[in-house]
Amino acid sequence: MASVQFRDIRKSFGAQDVIRGVTFDIRDGEFVILVGPSGCGKSTLLRMLAGLEDMTDGDILIGDRVVNDIAPKERDIAMVFQSYALYPHMTVEENMGFALKLEGRPKSAIAEKVRAAADILALGPLIDRLPKALSGGQRQRVAMGRAIVRDPQVFLFDEPLSNLDAKLRVQMRAEIKDLHQRLGTTMVYVTHDQVEAMTMADRIVVMRAGAVEQIGKPLELYDFPANTFVAAFIGSPSMNLLAGSVQDGAFVTASGARLPLPAGASARAVTYGIRPEHMVLSDTGIAAKVVVVEPTGADTHVLLRVGSDDVTLLARDRVDLAPGQTVHLAPDLRRLHLFGADERRIERA
């Protein structure tokens, strides 16, 4: 186990900066997830940590050791790839034992390690199979097994669940989290799926365009997003963000709709943020027209139009609404988010 430190990491391809000065620490034994839209640099950062990608500037430390110029195999890390990258001509056992074989360990020791890892991952009966005879989930487990047998200081995961179907993804999510709790090893995980990040991470690093937007515990990010980008990115369905300005104690949108504000709200606010689950239908309040009703069974997503803005409401109960109908919304003002012209969150006075 070891901590990881990124110090002012920069990477550019010619004139284009893909990583623009990233600095943060990962504590020993922590499960940190890098999340962000495609092209935000999260995978590049992970690959730099793995030693598979050169960096233009900065330092990466694993434990107390600067690893900038150290080859991947010397870094004492293991990585699980999105495509699993299993060796197709080797059995599960050979796949898992390959790294140990390269280290020159005796056969009996390799077999013992592989068995132990296979037991942890419930791969015991599949040990003699080739990857082509395994299902997607099993292949994913073998890829993790290959990492576990090496007993690394840090585990790296590069979107490991992207190729699995939705049901299996939920199952593997729990398995990876359980694995972390059992092994206690530092894990760095990259995903573009904020639900994965919210459910698994000790801390989340939200990235955009090569820079870190916010770092924090999942619920911190949900409750106190630092800017409009994080506000929109974290949470599903995503937060309603309406542009406008504060006038006479209310927030007036571009199309003239008046939204209530709590007492003492900053007059600097230009974006009004409210999560779909923090509004309820009421007899009075913001007038909105129903556009689409999407029942999911457990709850109902209602797409509404307030003036010219689209707003989503997440109703915990079943609602009887028809498109075209006019309803009234009451936002929970304690859970309102206001953002300034610089997109940053305005803290309450």
Stretch that binds another protein, among 129-137, 172-180, 206-214, 269-277 (CB under 8 A): 129-137
# residues near another protein by CB under 8 A: 32
- At residue 42, φ and ψ (nearest 5 deg) are -65, -40
Stretch that binds another protein, among 98-106, 208-216, 282-290, 300-308 (CB under 8 A): 98-106
CA 128 – CA 97 distance, rounded (Å): 12
With CB under 8 A as the contact rule, the residue among 125, 132, 167, 334 that binds another protein is 132
Q: Is 52 in the site for another protein (CB under 8 A)?
A: yes
Q: Is 130 in the site for another protein (CB under 8 A)?
A: yes
- Comparison of 83 and 308: residue with beta carbon closer to another protein: 83
Q: Is 103 in the site for another protein (CB under 8 A)?
A: yes
Residue with tokens 């330092």: 59
- Comparison of 84 and 233: residue with beta carbon closer to another protein: 84
- Answer whether 49's CB lies under 8 Å from 4's CB: yes
Stretch that binds another protein, among 59-67, 134-142, 223-231, 257-265 (CB under 8 A): 134-142
Shortest distance, CB of residue 33 to another protein, whole angstroms? Answer: 20
Q: Can you spell out the DSSP letters for 101-156?
A: HHTT--HHHHHHHHHHHHHHTT-GGGTT--GGGS-HHHHHHHHHHHHHTT--SEEE
- Comparison of 139 and 203: residue with beta carbon closer to another protein: 139
Stretch that binds another protein, among 128-136, 179-187, 203-211, 232-240 (CB under 8 A): 128-136
Q: Is 171 in the site for another protein (CB under 8 A)?
A: no
Q: Is 87 in the site for another protein (CB under 8 A)?
A: yes
Exposed/middle/buried for residue 200 (C-beta within 10 Å: 0-12, 13-18, 19+) = buried
- Comparison of 37 and 136: residue with beta carbon closer to another protein: 136
3-class SS at 252? strand
CA 319 – CA 301 distance, rounded (Å): 10
Query: CA angle, corner 315, sides to 313 and 321, nearest 5?
Result: 85
With CB under 8 A as the contact rule, the residue among 88, 106, 256, 264 that binds another protein is 88
Stretch that binds another protein, among 96-104, 198-206, 303-311, 314-322 (CB under 8 A): 96-104
With CB under 8 A as the contact rule, the residue among 56, 66, 122, 135 that binds another protein is 135
User: Where are any strands of DSSP class E within the chain?
Assistant: 4-13, 16-26, 31-35, 57-62, 65-66, 77-80, 154-158, 186-191, 203-208, 211-216, 240-247, 250-253, 258-260, 271-274, 279-282, 286-295, 300-306, 309-315, 326-331, 337-339
- Comparison of 103 and 223: residue with beta carbon closer to another protein: 103
Q: Is 107 in the site for another protein (CB under 8 A)?
A: no
With CB under 8 A as the contact rule, the residue among 85, 183, 291, 321 that binds another protein is 85
Strands 154-158 and 186-191: what pairing?
parallel
C-alpha dist (Å) from residue 319 to 90, 277, 288: 55, 14, 15
Q: Is 139 in the site for another protein (CB under 8 A)?
A: yes
- Comparison of 106 and 297: residue with beta carbon closer to another protein: 106
- Comparison of 99 and 279: residue with beta carbon closer to another protein: 99
Q: Is 77 in the site for another protein (CB under 8 A)?
A: yes
CA 131 – CA 139 distance, rounded (Å): 6
- Answer whether 205's CB lies under 8 Å from 216's CB: no
Q: Is 70 in the site for another protein (CB under 8 A)?
A: no
Interacting residues with another protein (CB under 8 A): 50, 52, 72-73, 77-79, 81-89, 98-99, 102-103, 130-132, 135-137, 139-140, 146, 150, 163-164
